[in-house]
C-alpha cells in the first residue's frame, strides 16, 4: 500500500500522540524502510495494533528513561522487536523547572533553556544516537533486495520518546537533513508536533488545573510543551559550527563515529520517486 489517503486512515487508528512518518509518503514514492516517529505508545489498543501491522511495523525504538518507561510502558503487539535506548533529557531538572514556573518562582528564557537541552543531547547522547542509527542501518541491510519497485519495504520502524518532540525531534531532523531536505522543510516538519500534541497539552493543562484546585496557571508551561523555530535552529547552527555538516557529525571521532557505508545507507531513507518503465 502506497496510497497516502489510506495511510492517513491508519494513522488515525493509532492511539498515540504525535505519531507520523519521518518522511511523508507521496504517491509514486518507494521507501527503503518505513520510518515513523511518535510520543509514548502506552495507549495502543487492538485497532492500533491492526494499523501498525498494516503499516508493516516490526521494530520499536524507545528513547525514554527507565522511569518514564515504567510509568507508562509501551503496549505493543506481539512479535514486535523492541529496543530500549534511554536518553537523558534532564527529566528531573525539567520537572523541577516546571514546578517552579507553576509556583510563580521561575524566571525562564524558553529559547535558551531548550537550546541548552538540544546541545546537551548532541554533546552527551552520542553513544545512544549512534546505537539508534546502527539499528536502522542493520534493518536496511536486512531489507535490501526484499522490497519490490512500487511497493512498501517489508520493515517499518517507530522511534519515540514521551512527547515525540525533543529527543525524537533531533533524531528526525538529522535523518531529514542527511536525506537532502532543506532546513526550511525540516523546520516545518518539526513544527508539526504542535498540531499533533494539542490534545496532550490540553490533557496536561486540565490535570494541573484540577490538581491545583485551579490555583495554578498551566499556560506558563506552554513554551516547554511546544516546539518553536528558536529551539531547533540554534541547535543545528551549533552542529554545523562544530562539525560543518550533519554528515561530518555522524562520521567524526568526536561525533557519532559511524562508518561511511552506514552514513551513505542512512542518506537513502528518504523515499525515492518510482521509475516508469
DSSP assignment string, 116-135: HHHHHHHHH-HHHHHHHHHH
Q: What is the pLDDT of residues 226-268, one digit of tens each?
A: 999 999 999 999 999 999 999 999 999 999 999 999 999 999 9
| 273 domain-assigned | no
CA separation for the pair 85, 66 (Å, rounded): 9
Q: Scanning the structure block, which residue is given the C-alpha cell 494513522?
A: 11
Domain of 205: which CATH number? 3.90.190.10
Mean pLDDT of 199-217: 95
- How far is it, in rounded angstroms, from Cα 22 to Cα 14? 16
Confidence band of 39 (pLDDT split at 50, 70, 90):
very high
Q: What's the pTM?
A: 0.92
Domain count across the chain: 1
Structural domain contains residue 114:
no
**Nearest one of 13, 40, 15, 10 to 25, comparing CA atoms:** 10
Q: Is residue 154 part of a domain?
A: yes
Q: Is residue 113 within 8 Å of residue 97, measured between CB atoms?
A: yes
Q: Determine, yes or no, domain membership for 16.
A: yes
| Beta strands at 29-30 and 156-160: parallel, antiparallel or unpaired | unpaired
Q: Which pLDDT tens digit goes with each residue over 171-204? A: 999 999 999 999 999 999 999 999 999 999 999 9
Query: What confidence category does residue 274 fall into, taking pLDDT thresholds of 50, 70 and 90?
Result: very low
Q: Is residue 248 part of a domain?
A: no
Confidence at residue 276, expressed as pLDDT on a 0 to 100 scale: 45
User: Does residue 150 sit within a domain?
Assistant: yes
Residue range 105-152, pLDDT digits in tens = 878 899 999 999 999 999 999 999 999 999 999 999 887 655 444 344
Give domain status of residue 98, yes or no: no
Cα–Cα dist 271/277, whole Å:
18
Expressed as residue numbers, the domain containing 31 is 4-88+131-220+259-268
What lies within 8 Å, CB to CB, of 92 at 6+ separation is none
Q: Give the integer Cα–Cα distance in Å for 21 and 192.
A: 11
Structural contact between residues 96 and 221, judged by C-beta atoms closer than 8 angstroms: no
Q: What is the pLDDT of residue 8?
A: 83
Q: How far apart are CA 197 and CA 62, in angstroms?
A: 18
Query: Do the domain assignments include residue 140?
Result: yes
The neighbouring-strand residues paired with 21 are 36
Amino acid at each position: 500500500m502506497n496510497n497516502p489517503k489510506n495511510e492517513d486512515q491508519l494513522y488515525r487508528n493509532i492511539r498515540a500522540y504525535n505519531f507520523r512518518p519521518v518522511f511523508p509518503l507521496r504517491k509514486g514514492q518507494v521507501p527503503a524502510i518505513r520510518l515513523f516517529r511518535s510520543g509514548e505508545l502506552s495507549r495502543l489498543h487492538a485497532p492500533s495494533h491492526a494499523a501498525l501491522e498494516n503499516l508493516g511495523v516490526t521494530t520499536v525504538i524507545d528513547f525514554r528513561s527507565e522511569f518514564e518507561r515504567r510509568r507508562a510502558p509501551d503496549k505493543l503487539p506481539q512479535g514486535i522487536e523492541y529496543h530500549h535506548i534511554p536518553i537523558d533529557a534532564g527529566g528531573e531538572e525539567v520537572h523541577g523547572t516546571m514546578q517552579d514556573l507553576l509556583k510563580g518562582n521561575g524566571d525562564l528564557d524558553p529559547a535558551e533553556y531548550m537550546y541548552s537541552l538540544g546541545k546537551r543531547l548532541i554533546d552527551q547522547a552520542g553513544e545512544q544516537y549512534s546505537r539508534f542509527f546502527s539499528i536502522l542501518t542493520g534493518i536496511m541491510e536486512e531489507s535490501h533486495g526484499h522490497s519490490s519497485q512500487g511497493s512498501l519495504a517489508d520493515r517499518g520502524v517507530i522511534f519515540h520518546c514521551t512527547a515525540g518532540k525533543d529527543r525524537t525531534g533531533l533524531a528526525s531532523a538529522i535523518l531529514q537533513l542527511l536525506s537532502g531536505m532543506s532546513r526550511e522543510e525540516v523546520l516545518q516538519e518539526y513544527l508539526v508536533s504542535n498540531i499533533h500534541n494539542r490534545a496532550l497539552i490540553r490533557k496536561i493543562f486540565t490535570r494541573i488545573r484540577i490538581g491545583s484546585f485551579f490555583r495554578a496557571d498551566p499556560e506558563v508551561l506552554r513554551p516547554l510543551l511546544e516546539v518553536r523555530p528558536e529551539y531547533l535552529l540554534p541547535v543545528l547552527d551549533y552542529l554545523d559550527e562544530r562539525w560543518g555538516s550533519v554528515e561530518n557529525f555522524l562520521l567524526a571521532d568526536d561525533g557519532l563515529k559511524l562508518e561511511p557505508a552506514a552514513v551513505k545507507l542512512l542518506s537513502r531513507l528518504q523515499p525515492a520517486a518510482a521509475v516508469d518503465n
